[in-house]
Amino acid sequence: MEDSRSFEEKSFSNGDVYVGEIKAILPHGKGKYTWSDGTVYEGDWEDGKRTGKGVIYWPSGTKYEGEISGGYLHGYGTFTRSTGCVYRGSWRMNSHHGIGWKEYSNSDSYEGLWRGGIREGCGRYSWSNGNTYVGNWKGGKIDGRGVMKWANGDIFDGCWVNGLRHGSGVYRFADGGLYIGTWSKGLKDGKGTFYPAGSKHPSLRKCSINSDDSRLSLNTAKHTAPKPRVKRSLSEKILGSSRSKSSRQISQRTKSLDAYQNLRSPTGDRTCHDSSSPVWQTFGESQSEASVTSTLVYEREYMQGVLIMERTKKYSESSHKNKRQNKFNVTPVKKSSCMDIFGGHRSYYLKLNLQLGIRYTVGKVTPVPAREVRSSDFGDRAMIRMYFPKEGSQRTPPHYSIDFDWKDYCPMVFRNLREMFKLDAADYMMSICGDCGLRDISSPGKSGSIFYLSQDERFVIKTLKKSELKFLLNMLPKYYNHVGKYENTLITKFFGLHRITLRGGKKVRFVVMGNMFCTELHIHRRYDLKGSSQGRCTNKDKINSHTTLKDLDLKYEFQMDIKLRESLLNQISIDCKFLESQHIIDYSLLLGLHFRAPENLKALAGSLQRQDSLPSGDDVKQGEQLIIPKGLLLVAHEPSFVDTTPGPHIRGKLKAHSIGDMEVDLLLPGTARLRVQLGVNMPAQAISKVQEDKVDASEVELFEVYDVVLYMGIIDILQEYNMKKKIEHACKSLKFDPMTISVVEPKIYAQRFINFFHKKVFPETP
């Protein structure tokens, strides 16, 4: 077929000029288009659009040379600004997208993955001052697992969030010192171990560092020197691709994999091995000959970047190895519980069933006009019952789980409770039934229950025994009246009660509760307090950052605003009287503490800051500044400054004596303004009750007064008091002699509980 293209020159009324091939009346083939403002494009055209390869010159001096599709920079190309900034790599719709290399006008450079013009994925950033980072990026910031190496030789390998160190990590100092621990928003926060320069380090192969990205794993096994090979940059590899479209697509995919391996290490080794730096040469050494030699190491604990405790210990590589081997050789005794039936994929199906049922139930009752609950809305006969076959039915959708029967207890009661707690039905469903699913969490008690956590951590879902479900149903009318009358109640908030029946007749019962520890602040300590001393301590060898401690582990008493203390203790008394009326015993107050560094540690913190000060590039510089909090400050409540979105722990209004009986917010340095509610965001001072002569000589307390933020709620309220089964335990717990007292009533437990918090935990301010 004869080609109808011709070569012409056209001038337009607006001053534009085109010289090149034309098909019909449209540019098609090779051509040059000059706009009236001085912009020039010279290259391929297709049906009047710039498509193929070409060069664009802008009047400012900026230039693009590469692939274009439909008028967009799309494919592979090089973009050079007049300022000296150069990008060479993949494009999509005028944005950097895919693999690319960019050198900035300040001499910084980045080589890695892009998404929509933003650094996203794995990449290497080199600052002009000599700092380098290799790892994950998100939204243009360091986020995920990665390795930062500073110009002075310091190296950090660990987790990052929003450009700051956050999570587990290993910090290697240039002088050979090593710190393994956790960080929070750029500051050391939590427990860790420091190995001084010259000491024997553990094999980091054994140091567990959690990460969601397994591609950048901390693997420090011995490595051999890389084989000599021709070094080519990422851009040179991409330039070697075929010109045809089909072969270009295949080669781009191949080079993406090749470039990704190159990003992990420019020498071909893993990211954490920098063969040009002697710092890493001892990191993965087996130390087989020297491992039996003990050395002095320091166990440290930080809060908000300030060292609060340090103890010394002897470290032996061989003994550490033996302990690990013994740990894995022990076969634990398997407890019989409902957990046994959910091995493998069964738990996955159970969570899907739970989400399907809640979505169906909430969607069914929400459109019903609001009304007062009636007596018929309570009890085990007030329910919604539905069968969910896998293939779906007229009333249920098809799904990927297994067939199950669903039962939702007292739907109108819990619908009104959710409204009473100011919880939006759509938010409730999105939190529990969203695409992200539910997370498994280990049981904090001995009940053998299964616990799930919603992805946004607002709700906890717990399996119940049949007796616990019946008890909650019997208590529900009084519970409904109590939480309706006392909006500041500390008693656990219940949002739904459900039962799933699986094939074979196995029944699993669930209750949905609010998570009182859903907060933007880090919870440093958790306590389960019963006001008892019988068996109320934790084995020190089993304590970690997530351990829930007990009464005898609590070393502090708390002092707070007079009004807040009065409201708190009054509500504890009211709630205990309700639990007493329901014949409930053995409940606890769950207490969470967020510590803030005190004002009197400025000098100490300053020295620590000088010791730990690290150079940084532009993207991480803010995280390296040690911010010393100036204490807690109560201010008048201003809704415009506070996130007042209703949640699972919304409380009523609180006033503070210290600012003239006004509703209050809490201000913390480096943190948003927080709404103070009963049991949520409550400021206090924690005063250590440990005497100096009782402190272990190997443990050094650096200070005794802390500014803290408290979170609390009364839990374990679903166990009815049973005289025959509980009397001996209750007598021991409350230090009564079973032989001299015939009846231990819930009233005694309640009074003991109330007195404990009045006198021991929240005493009057001296």
**Per-residue pLDDT tens over the stretch 505-541:** 788 999 999 988 888 788 888 999 988 877 788 887 7
Q: CB 306: neighbour CB atoms within 10 A?
A: 25
Contact, 752 vs 734, CB < 8 A?
Answer: yes
- Complete DSSP assignment for 87-122: EEEEEETTEEEEEEEEE-TTS-EEEEEEETTEEEEE
pLDDT in tens, 120-144: 989 999 999 999 999 999 989 999 8
φ, ψ of residue 411 in degrees (nearest 5) = -60, -40
pLDDT number for residue 233? 40
More confident residue, 705 or 208: 705
Query: Is residue 629 over pLDDT 60?
Result: no
φ, ψ of residue 290 in degrees (nearest 5) = -95, 0
The full set of domains in the chain, from first to last, is 344-515 (3.30.800.10), 520-602+682-691+701-765 (3.30.810.10)
φ, ψ of residue 287 in degrees (nearest 5) = 55, 40
pLDDT number for residue 151? 92
pLDDT number for residue 748? 85
pLDDT number for residue 619? 40
Q: CB 281: neighbour CB atoms within 10 A?
A: 11
More confident residue, 1 or 497: 497
pLDDT number for residue 342? 45
Distance between CA atoms of residues 412 and 366, nearest Å: 9
Distance between CA atoms of residues 31 and 558, nearest Å: 79
pTM (predicted TM-score): 0.60
Residue closest to 161 by CA, chosen among 137, 179, 181, 180:
137
Selection from 205-209, 317-321, 709-713 with the highest mean pLDDT: 709-713
Distance between CA atoms of residues 499 and 512, nearest Å: 12
- Provide the residue type at 505 as one letter: G
Query: Is residue 618 over pLDDT 90?
Result: no
Contact, 480 vs 729, CB < 8 A?
Answer: no
Query: Is residue 489 over pLDDT 50?
Result: yes
Distance between CA atoms of residues 666 and 642, nearest Å: 10
Selection from 20-29, 428-437, 581-590 with the highest mean pLDDT: 581-590
3-state secondary structure 405-447: EEEEECHHHHHHHHHHCCCCHHHHHHHHHCCCCEEEECCCCCC
φ, ψ of residue 374 in degrees (nearest 5) = -115, 170
Distance between CA atoms of residues 619 and 123, nearest Å: 14
- Residue 204 pLDDT class (50, 70, 90 cuts): low
Query: Is residue 503 over pLDDT 90?
Result: no
pLDDT number for residue 88? 93
Alpha-helical segments (H) within 197-311: 234-239, 245-264
More confident residue, 207 or 425: 425
Q: Of the given ranges (201-215, 261-275, 561-575), which has the lowest mean pLDDT?
A: 261-275
pLDDT in tens, 713-754: 998 888 766 554 555 665 666 655 554 444 567 888 888 899
pLDDT number for residue 690? 57
Residue closest to 200 by CA, chosen among 270, 109, 286:
286
Q: What mean pLDDT is predicted for residues 245-268? A: 34
pLDDT number for residue 267? 29
